[in-house]
Structure 1
Amino acid sequence: MTTNTLSIDLKNPDLYVDAVPHAVFDQLRRDDPVHWNPESDGPGFWALTRYEDIVEVSRNPALFSSAYENGGHRIFNENEVGLTGAGEAAIGIPFISVDPPVHTQYRKFIMPAVSPGRLAGIEGRIRERCLALIDKIPLGEAVDMVPLLSAPLPLLTLCELFDLPTAMWTDLYHWTNAFVGEDDPDFRQSPEAMMATLGEFMTFARELFDTRRANPGEDLATLLATMEVNGEPVAFREFLGNMILALVGANETTRNSLSHTMTAFAAHPEQWDAVRAEPELLRNGVREMVRHASPVMHMRRTAMADTVVGGRPIRKGDKVVMWYIAANRDESVFPDPHRFDIRRGNIQHLGFGTGQHVCVGSRLAEMQLRVAFGILAERVSQFTLLAPPRRFRSNFINGLKNLDMRLTAG
């Protein structure tokens, strides 16, 4: 056992600035898969790195809580520092930080909004947006693919789901970066700047809430504004929390899966050649894209009673952090796990979570990946990475701030 590696603080956002520390996660899975990680500013947490342990915890919400009052779904305690870690008090509890049975009520309201029937026709509109974005990418020239494709595509889809003007995608981009960027100075330059950003968003959300209450439509914002939980209409605070959750969840997963997959195709051109020769590979291949990227690196639970996970005793009140990015490279589940393989079969990844809190928008995310790479396969013969991308300083989002590439026509 390499003590130096196992003593690395997984909470430290600097650990992820240059690259995901896959070698650290590999060793933890092998030598200490239920690993105690001390905290300089907290009681410490259990780090789960093995697929089977994470599935076990995820599927037992009665024993492992996501509830706000027990700390929520992040390493930090939401009930102490707020949903975004900024100390705000005006934001209510999003449904990701609520346990069953109330969490189940939220899902019953929201699932119809992202059902195949409700999304009928959306694939065609996503294709139209993709075509418009890709038409503007100059092939053969140096470009940054984040503002040209990775960021606008999911945010334009969100504008449709919320029935917002398409021009608002740039505002949503700015806000979501701030919501998840608590450890990145590019996204949170100061507490005052963060409060100003929250103020802008809250003003927008208040107007949206009031408008949708007064004139309800069929959009997702109306659903979030008019739903009832335990027989009571949601308050503005809860609408605000769920809007932040929807914006971050529907954006970051798709955005960063797009970016990481383009870098994977640049590193493995034979995989891109396979897609171009057999576009039908994308139907299952999108699951490999999310597995390999793991855009959300972890989620947290809190033990509600003394228990055992992976042979280690867990005490009531202990924080348990599930490292999806490690489980998605678990060699006992995924042969040759670090290889990006667009032909990989039977991909039951944890990129969208599992159990009660599995992402409600996973199908929509996969649809956008499939459509985008389908169009690119018709036009692009090669992706060339021109410089290493700048990464988020984050232990939560496996994000790329830029992606300087050249796309070769073909």
Structure 2
Amino acid sequence: MTATITAPDLKDPDLYFDRAPHDLFAQLRTERPVYWNPESDGAGFWALTRYADIVAVSRNPGLFSSAYENGGHRIFNENEVGLTGAGEAAIGIPFISVDPPVHTQYRKFIMPALSPARLAGIEERIHARCLSLIDRIPLGETVDLVPLLSAPLPLLTLCELLDLPTGMWVKLYDWTNAFVGEDDPDFRQSPQAMAAILGEFMAFSQQLYEERRATPGQDLATLLATMEVNGQPVTFQEFVGNLILALVGANETTRNSLSHSVAAFAANPDQWDLVRADPTLLKNGVREMVRYASPVMHMRRTATADTEIGGQAIRKGDKIVLWYIAANRDESVFPDPDRFDIRRGNIQHLGFGTGQHVCVGSRLAEMQLRVAFSLLAERVGRFKMMAAPRRFRSNFINGLKNLDVQMVAA
């Protein structure tokens, strides 16, 4: 018989340090799917763990706000804390923390820049980059796959989108880790170290902003620097906020989905055999990879009026945290949800969100996963995990810092 849960603190980053607590989320879905989580440093929040509830909230931005002025899209209040603090120390507001109709204006600018027509030939270029990375990985030797493949692949793609030199991927990697790693001492070693990182990034951003406004190109950085919202050009602060959003979104989802999927194939060699026998399974199989990994664990909304969710009364101003990592293992939607099944059909996962704020780069992320595993299937017969990976200390990113594996030749 399963023991009844007491009062877990889902905000505590230590809860996710050793493993993703899927068993805890499963109990919450059953016993308290709309769970009140007190905070020692805040008013508390409602934690949603059921797929249907999260979809319903995500598709009603008028009632459930992501706006910065209402607290934004994270557990903490962005208008009080933010990346570097509120007030003069704060960066600009990224469009993920803006509600419709203004949010919709941002998306109308950005989504065409990531369309297949605008990115003609990008799959071939991703294929070439990925092949070059894989060619350098020795078979049969223990390697850390994160710096060799998982991290550089999406960041090299981002360098293309931003029209930056390929060597910039290493800096982008360090910066994004610092931006999302507020609870991890490896990523934010001290306030002084964070100030130095931010200063370096801001100097880079200022130069990029000025260059793209002076000499516009066809790249994403030009778009972020020159677009107009409500008839007004974006400010430098807004450019910085959206640039950070692009860096994190383009890196963390693909990078950690790739790492978690290698670990899943190592634990489930029968699934890797299926891919090697029929690589066309990857067309839909990449969706199973993202579902299983759930690289972004939560997003947050704030109720703009008194309402109810799943029979629970919600007050105006209450925080609501949407646990994608729980919804992606909801038994009512995904039969046998803890099984990694590359042949699973009709996968409508929430790994990229849903509703108004669904990730604009989701198709590009899936493309990179498909290309990477197609190439790996040609030469790798088995993945062998040589040590348990070190995890991010984070309640936000389901991340792996390293992935020590042997890739056994086919």
TM-score, normalised with respect to structure 2: 0.98
Q: Distance in 1 between matches of 2:53 and 2:98?
A: 22
Q: Which residue of structure 2 aligns with residue 387 of structure 1?
A: 387
Q: Which residue of structure 2 aligns with residue 265 of structure 1?
A: 265
Q: How does 1:118-133 map to 2 (within 5 A)?
A: 118-133=118-133
SS at match of 1:117: coil
SS at match of 1:79: coil
Given that 1:6 and 1:28 are in contact with CA atoms closer than 8 Å, whether structure 2 keeps it comes out as no
Residue 62, structure 1, aligned to residue 62, structure 2: yes
Q: Which residue of structure 1 aligns with residue 74 of structure 2?
A: 74
Q: Could you give the per-residue CA deviations for residues 286-332 of structure 1, whole angstroms, max 9, x where no partner exists?
A: 00000000000000000000000011000000000000000000000
SS at match of 1:320: strand
Letter in 2 for 1:96: I
Q: Which residue of structure 2 aligns with residue 315 of structure 1?
A: 315
Q: Which residue of structure 2 aligns with residue 173 of structure 1?
A: 173
Q: Which residue of structure 1 aligns with residue 280 of structure 2?
A: 280
Q: Could you give the per-residue CA deviations for residues 56-90 of structure 1, whole angstroms, max 9, x where no partner exists?
A: 00000000000000000000000001236688724
Given that 2:297 and 2:396 are in contact with CA atoms closer than 8 Å, whether structure 1 keeps it comes out as yes
Letter in 1 for 2:80: E
Q: How does 1:138-177 map to 2 (within 5 A)?
A: 138-177=138-177
Change over 3 Å in CA distance of 1:150–1:45 after alignment to 2: same
Q: Distance in 2 between matches of 1:300 and 1:71?
A: 9
Given that 2:83 and 2:90 are in contact with CA atoms closer than 8 Å, whether structure 1 keeps it comes out as no
Q: How does 1:5-404 map to 2 (within 5 A)?
A: 5-83=5-83, 89-404=89-404
Q: Distance in 1 between matches of 2:129 and 2:120?
A: 16
Residue 120 of structure 1 deviates from its aligned partner by 1.4
Given that 1:328 and 1:334 are in contact with CA atoms closer than 8 Å, whether structure 2 keeps it comes out as yes
Q: Distance in 1 between matches of 2:175 and 2:380?
A: 32
Q: Distance in 2 between matches of 1:5 and 1:148?
A: 41
Q: Distance in 2 between matches of 1:258 and 1:85?
A: 32
Q: Distance in 1 between matches of 2:190 and 2:88?
A: 14
Q: Could you give the per-residue CA deviations for residues 355-408 of structure 1, whole angstroms, max 9, x where no partner exists?
A: 000000000000000000000000100000000000000000000000000000
Q: Distance in 1 between matches of 2:269 and 2:88?
A: 46
Letter in 2 for 1:331: E
Q: Could you give the per-residue CA deviations for residues 236-281 of structure 1, whole angstroms, max 9, x where no partner exists?
A: 0000000000000110000000000000000000000000000000
Change over 3 Å in CA distance of 1:190–1:4 after alignment to 2: farther
Letter in 1 for 2:74: R
Given that 1:288 and 1:341 are in contact with CA atoms closer than 8 Å, whether structure 2 keeps it comes out as yes
Q: Distance in 1 between matches of 2:335 and 2:211?
A: 51
CA RMSD of aligned residues (A): 1.2
Q: Distance in 1 between matches of 2:299 and 2:368?
A: 24
Residue 192 of structure 1 deviates from its aligned partner by 1.2
**What is the percent sequence identity of the aligned residues?**
80
Q: Distance in 1 between matches of 2:75 and 2:25?
A: 17
Letter in 1 for 2:154: P
Given that 2:78 and 2:86 are in contact with CA atoms closer than 8 Å, whether structure 1 keeps it comes out as no
Given that 1:84 and 1:179 are in contact with CA atoms closer than 8 Å, whether structure 2 keeps it comes out as no
Q: Distance in 1 between matches of 2:320 and 2:168?
A: 37
Q: Could you give the per-residue CA deviations for residues 20-65 of structure 1, whole angstroms, max 9, x where no partner exists?
A: 1111100000010000000011000000000000000000000000
SS at match of 1:383: strand
Change over 3 Å in CA distance of 1:278–1:84 after alignment to 2: farther
TM-score, normalised with respect to structure 1: 0.98
Letter in 2 for 1:173: Y
Given that 1:86 and 1:194 are in contact with CA atoms closer than 8 Å, whether structure 2 keeps it comes out as no
Given that 2:66 and 2:73 are in contact with CA atoms closer than 8 Å, whether structure 1 keeps it comes out as yes
Change over 3 Å in CA distance of 1:291–1:85 after alignment to 2: farther
Given that 2:305 and 2:315 are in contact with CA atoms closer than 8 Å, whether structure 1 keeps it comes out as yes
Q: Distance in 2 between matches of 1:21 and 1:187?
A: 22
Change over 3 Å in CA distance of 1:6–1:402 after alignment to 2: same
Q: Could you give the per-residue CA deviations for residues 165-218 of structure 1, whole angstroms, max 9, x where no partner exists?
A: 000000000000000000000000011111111110000000000000000000
How many corresponding residue pairs? Answer: 410
SS at match of 1:313: strand
Residue 5 of structure 1 deviates from its aligned partner by 2.9
Change over 3 Å in CA distance of 1:190–1:235 after alignment to 2: same
Residue 125 of structure 1 deviates from its aligned partner by 0.2
Structure 1 unaligned segments of length 5 or more: list them: none
Letter in 1 for 2:235: A
Letter in 2 for 1:199: G
Change over 3 Å in CA distance of 1:111–1:90 after alignment to 2: same
